[in-house]
Structure 1
Amino acid sequence: MTLYEDLDRRFFPGFKRQKIQGSDGDIQTLVGGSGPPLLMLHGDPQTHLCWHHIAPELARDYTVVLTDIRGRGESHKPGRTPENVAYSKRVHAREQLDVMKTLGFETFRLVGHDRGARISRRMALDFPDRIERLAIMDIVPILDFYENTTAKVAQDYYYFFFLTQPSPIPEDLIKGSPEKLTRQILTGLPGQVALYDPDIFEAYLASGASEEAIVAMCECFRAGLSQDIHHDREDREAGRTIVCPTLVMWGEQGVVGTHFDVRGIWSRWAPDCTFAPLPCGHFIPEEKPALALQRLRDFLK
């Protein structure tokens, strides 16, 4: 039994592990529970394991689908591509839609944290007929992020600007001790109060240590500047917004909560929006899982 198989057996009892073939590679997927379909997408530098407090509870009422997004965990990890297109959130979104279609779900509810929230938002904008309800955790859209960045934001979220440097500058620097960067992000952000399960924390460190995972992380952040920000500008110019009911959650003590006008920004992108600030930092699913679960239950039903 592999490390990931053991952790899934322990933390997601009753969930079925499977690899789903996409157009570019395999996506590691877990499915558990019964009821309306619900896709949950994790952030960086984590994997689907970040939902271990929340997903088993939601599986009482929903068919919960957890994936490792491309570049993380046991899913495929494309290398460098021209203009970082392999890691655009649009490509991510299409891949996750294919996973759900393979499982037989044409429409579904959607929850995303961090990078998973960026993918979820893009999915709701590009495929509005597929998403019934959308829950977003602790981001502002990438266009608004860069337009409103201050020196303090750049200091607190330093890796947004480090990881986007031309290849192979950040890759070479990270390779010397990849666990140090992962550990710093998971434990060193402002307002951070997460209490990680020790075995899951070690799995996060291991997941980000390979050379292909390091490339994937850098390419995903580069795609924010080369692809995602361009797609956001197109949407803004066209007046395109998210049409489904949307829940926006954020940590009041984190970078997003302390430096951005979350309500103002998201009101422009999602007119049918509900706001839920939480007393924590960035890693909501592992900092305030009980509160997050209650907000999700109230919203998703």
Structure 2
Amino acid sequence: MAPTIPDFDYHRVPVADGVALHTAVGGTGSPIVLLHGFPQTHLMWRHVAADLAADHTVICPDLRGYGASDKPAGTADGTAYAKRAMAADIVALARALGHDRFALAGHDRGALVAFRAGLDHPAAITHLACLDVLPTLDMWQVMHGTTAAIGFHLYLMAQPPGLPEQMISAAPDAFFGHFLDIWHQNPQAIPTDIRAAYLDACRNAVPSIVADYRASATIDVEHDQADKDAGSRLRMPVTVLQQDWGAVLGFDAATLWRAWAPDLHHSTVSCGHFMAEEAPTDISRALRDLLAR
């Protein structure tokens, strides 16, 4: 039986034509939506969600194209997996569950969806947290030279349809497992059953995961650039938590984020990439601090 977040109820919520999101909901109180990253599912939030559910309604979906949520076919123009479409899914999800306004936190890919939701739906997002990521436009600008090798998967999945899907589908457990193995500092943070659930989910979602990443090299860049040119900003309180990988790639993450978020709290966390699993107490505390702003 697949792992679940204990004491959470599970729903399948339609959010767009042909797309329903597999969603765990628990707790009572003001709502917060938690979005997972790659190569994971909503289960990455299991510790933080259980903590926040003591006084919040906590909503943890699998993103479009991931986990047990629907996986529409990619489109030539990238719109099916544009973060704009994925952000609209989340606003529709919250609304379907009775919440017109909600706090939103995302990790990795989920943070990119959260970032886009904050720009596209400012009236809906009360507070925003982004964990261990840069906005797409900035990410491509700081990746350069040999240090960019750490993001080889970004370039692989940006290629036209066909080759990336074939290569990854030939050895999906090796590909996705590689990131689960190298991106942590504490291997016990992702136990065997959770790791197996992540690999099972990814194995069955290669085309949609690639389409999500391909969109970040095409249409998502266009959307970010248009917002930057228009002077769009995140007007809600924003918290950004990151590893100190700016020291490796040679950039100041706080400065890059502050250009988008005037009301920013930025800090580094002493753990690996999977911070909600490696340092859940720290992440819960940071989210509670954000919600108090």
Alignment TM-score > 0.5, same fold: yes
> Following the alignment from structure 1 to structure 2, what is the Cα–Cα distance between the partners of residues 234 and 298?
31
* In 2, Cα distance between equivalents of 1:152 and 1:183: 23
Which of 176, 201, 216 lines up with 1:224 in the alignment?
Answer: 216
Distance 1:257 1:242 in 2: 25
Residue in structure 2 matching 1:241, options 225, 229, 233 = 233
Q: TM-score, normalised by structure 2?
A: 0.95
Pair 178,45 (structure 1): closer, same or farther in 2 beyond 3 Å: same
Q: Is 2:74–2:81's contact at 8 Å kept on the other side of the alignment?
A: no
Unaligned ranges ≥5, structure 2: none
Q: 1:250 maps to which residue?
A: 242
Equivalent position to 1:87, from 81, 84, 89: 81
Q: Partner of 1:199 in structure 2?
A: 193
Is 2:243–2:268's contact at 8 Å kept on the other side of the alignment?
yes
Give me the whole-angstrom Cα distance separating, in 2, the residues matched to 1:281 and 1:153: 18
Deviates further, 21-30 or 260-269: 21-30
1:133 and 2:127 are equivalent in the alignment: yes
Alignment pair present for 1:115 and 2:105: no
Q: How does 1:127-276 map to 2 (within 5 A)?
A: 127-189=121-183, 192-194=185-187, 195-210=189-204, 213-252=205-244, 255=245, 258-259=248-249, 260-276=251-267
* TM-score for the superposition, normalised by structure 1: 0.93
Report the 3-state secondary structure (helix = DSSP H, G, I; strand = E; otherwise coil) of the residue aligned with 2:259: helix
Q: Deviations over 1:164-211 (max 9, x none)?
A: 11111011111111011111011124x64352121011100111112x
The gaps in structure 1 that reach 5 residues or longer are none
Secondary structure of the corresponding residue to residue 157 of structure 1: helix
* Paired position in structure 2 for 1:67: 61
Q: Which deviations, in whole Å up to 9, do the C-alpha atoms of 1:21-66 show, x marking residues without a partner?
A: 1223211011100100110000011000001111000000100001
In structure 2, what is the equivalent of residue 284 of structure 1? 275
Secondary structure of the equivalent of 1:22? strand
Q: What letter matches 2:112 in structure 1?
A: R
The answer (yes or no) to whether the contact 2:15–2:92 under 8 Å persists in 1 is yes
How far apart are 1:152 and its partner, in Å?
3.5
Is the alpha carbon distance of 1:33 and 1:250 closer, same or farther for their aligned partners in structure 2, counting shifts above 3 Å? Answer: same
Please list the CA deviations of residues 256-285 of structure 1 after superposition, one character each: whole Å capped at 9, or x if unmatched: 563231111001000000012101221111
Q: Distance in 2 between matches of 1:150 and 1:193?
A: 28
- Matched with 1:15 is 8
- Partner residue of 1:41 out of 35, 42, 54: 35
Q: Which amino acid aligns with 2:15?
A: G
- Alignment partners' CA distance in 1, 2:62 and 2:247: 26
Q: Distance in 2 between matches of 1:269 and 1:178?
A: 35
**Equivalent residue, structure 2, for 1:297:** 288
Whole-Å separation in 1 of the counterparts to 2:248 and 2:126: 30
Judging changes above 3 Å, is the alpha-carbon distance between structure 1 residues 153 and 287 closer, same or farther for their aligned structure 2 residues?
farther
- 2:203 match: secondary structure: coil
Structure 2 CA distance for aligned equivalents of residues 166 and 238 of structure 1: 29
Query: Of 36, 52, 58, which residue of structure 1 is paired with 2:46?
Result: 52
Contact 1:182-1:208 at 8 Å conserved across structures: yes
Q: Residue deviations 1:113-142, cap 9 Å, x none?
A: 000000000000011111101011011111
Give me the whole-angstrom Cα distance separating, in 2, the residues matched to 1:175 and 1:120: 28
Distance 2:215 2:147 in 1: 19
Measured against aligned partners, the alpha-carbon deviations of 1:211-267 in whole angstroms (never above 9, x if no partner) come to xx1001111111012111000110111001000000000012xx4563231111001
- State the SS of the aligned residue for 1:30: strand
The one-letter code matched in structure 1 to 2:281 is A
**Which residue pairs with 2:72 in the alignment?**
78
